[in-house]
Structure 1
Amino acid sequence: MALPQSDPDRYTHVQVAPGVELATIPRLAGNDSVPFVLVHGLASNARLWDGVGERLQMAGHDSVAVDQRGHGRSAAATCDFDFATLSDDLAAVIRASFNRPVVLAGQSWGGNVVVEAARHHPDLVAGVVCVDGGFLKLSESFDSLDQALTALHPPPLAGTPLTVIRERMTSHFADFPPEGVEGQLANFEVRDDGTVKPWLSLDKHLEIIRRMWEHDPFSAAAELTVPVLVLAVGDPDSPRGELVSRLVAAAPDGRAEWMDAHHDVHAQEPDAVATLMTAFAGGLA
């Protein structure tokens, strides 16, 4: 099936607070189907959703992929990364982009963000999709905050030539489609000397981890008023599977689908993810 031509570098900037703009990638299908707002994970960017966004458009769904504060083309948007502020950011994007409730889909840390956004702004949300996220509770996965900061510390990639990064990404993500590899490369700013640096600075990366340490996704999920779909990867009988089960049980209307895939399954398997998401949207009242 041929995908429509798209311009993934065509960003629209949305003001979400005084002096704060977020970069977004809109894809419009031009009908009244339930739209999607697509939210990336920690140190990632909106381009990881390219494959899914294109397939949603083909299925008749509008979507907007968002570069969250400090990430991608929103790297200049600085502030505290508390979940209430991030939730308000998404609410502003929804209001600026659509005139009806949306499905909020978030991957990894973005899954936790969309759960909070749906709790804070229930009138704007028709459903929630958590893509291998939403259930992340670092205070239960690590013995201490210091341990979490060490384990989740990003590698020192600033100053690496783009050619080297591209070679590494192409090898590491060999089973990803081309748009998935390009999405991974879009995590970096390319400097004039041909080297890269992550869009997300180290201090912001560590601050987000601190905020995640404080976050209780299960309490947030218990307050939701809309259906929740968790697309989880790995072994459902693992400790991770227990977290997924707790999120599904906490949500008033939750269910999980398990996939044998990479953590960035939305970039690796866009056909499968888009199919599950469109079916979920089709079942919303």
Structure 2
Amino acid sequence: MRVLRRSGDPDLAVRVAGETDRGVPVVLVHGMASDHSTWRRLAAALRARGRAVISVDLRGHGRSGRARDVYRLDDFRDDLAYVLDALGVAVADVVGHSLGAHTALRFAMLEPSRIRRLVLEEVPPMPRDEADLSEGIAMRATLGEQIRGLIALARNPFPVIRFDGRMGDQIVAEFDVCAPHWWSELPDVQAASLVISGGEKSFLPPHHLRTLSEALPDSRFVTIDAGHSVHRDRAAEFVAQVDGFLGH
């Protein structure tokens, strides 16, 4: 792992495989309470295709530093921008899961010219109105997902051990506020996008992800009935979808 040292903001750990100045690299951004290691299978497939891969540990996760006070969604977005700047990457393809997907989407809204292709796995949308809030679709795992998560935890406990538990309530609180302006900015995204839903097994209702996909200018929508962690629980199908979408 390479650690990008900063003064005033948390240090950020990244794993870089391949030459990022040759072609368009792929940036992988994990979900909450995970880290870069969740992408090992996808990263190996991308490297076999000759793609450079940058796997990020978000602040408060893995080997990255922790926030001094609170965690905000825009801070994760700005961290992603910092990683690309520090590595000299002008344009990238980005794959994100859950919080990582939301982070990537915020970055694509802020700097649309810097993302060529965007894969959004189980991306939690901001609530549009009180009706969305009443559905309670913030990042809260179902029982089935908790069980699958415990199995994954037994296999690799380090991401959870290193996770800053203060983050959970702070981030969920941001998803408990109506944000119609967030939806109004989705048309600013220039990247070709692939939105992947985990289907009815996920706590995120698929129709919300489909609506999000339809709001993006150039997007396709795919369902893989796996629950919230598609890349973990249906890895072969996930890799095939991403590999076909990203190309070379």
Equivalent residues in 2 for 1:75-154 (5 A)? 75-135=65-125, 137=127, 141-143=132-134, 152=140
Q: 1:61 aligns with which of 51, 61, 66?
A: 51
Who is 1:27 aligned against?
A: 17
Letter in 1 for 2:3: H
Unaligned regions of 5+ residues in structure 2, if any? 142-146
Who is 1:275 aligned against?
A: 240
SS in 2 for 1:188: helix
SS in 1 for 2:227: coil
**Structure 1 Cα separation of the partners of residues 30 and 127 of structure 2:** 17
Change (3 A) 1:137 1:62: farther
1:281: Cα distance to partner? 1.9
Change (3 A) 1:39 1:266: same
SS in 1 for 2:134: coil
1:90: Cα distance to partner? 0.4
| TM-score, length of structure 1 as denominator length | 0.72
Who is 1:225 aligned against?
A: 190
* Kept after mapping to 1: 8 A contact 2:91/2:116: yes
Change (3 A) 1:239 1:73: closer
Q: 2:163 aligns with which of 199, 217, 233?
A: 199
Larger Rg: 1
* Kept after mapping to 1: 8 A contact 2:193/2:220: yes
Who is 2:160 aligned against?
A: 188
* Kept after mapping to 2: 8 A contact 1:36/1:64: yes
**Structure 2 Cα separation of the partners of residues 170 and 239 of structure 1:** 16
Who is 2:27 aligned against?
A: 37
Compute the RMSD of aligned alpha carbons: 3.4
SS in 2 for 1:72: coil
1:124: Cα distance to partner? 1.9
Unaligned regions of 5+ residues in structure 1, if any? 1-10, 154-167, 174-179, 190-197
Who is 1:177 aligned against?
A: none
**Structure 2 Cα separation of the partners of residues 69 and 170 of structure 1:** 21
* Kept after mapping to 2: 8 A contact 1:33/1:60: no
Who is 2:173 aligned against?
A: 210
Q: Per-residue CA shift, 1:55-84, capped at 9, x if unaligned?
A: 111111111111111112224344543333
Change (3 A) 1:46 1:30: closer
Q: Per-residue CA shift, 1:107-158, capped at 9, x if unaligned?
A: 11221111101111223211211011143649655439xx778x849xxxxx
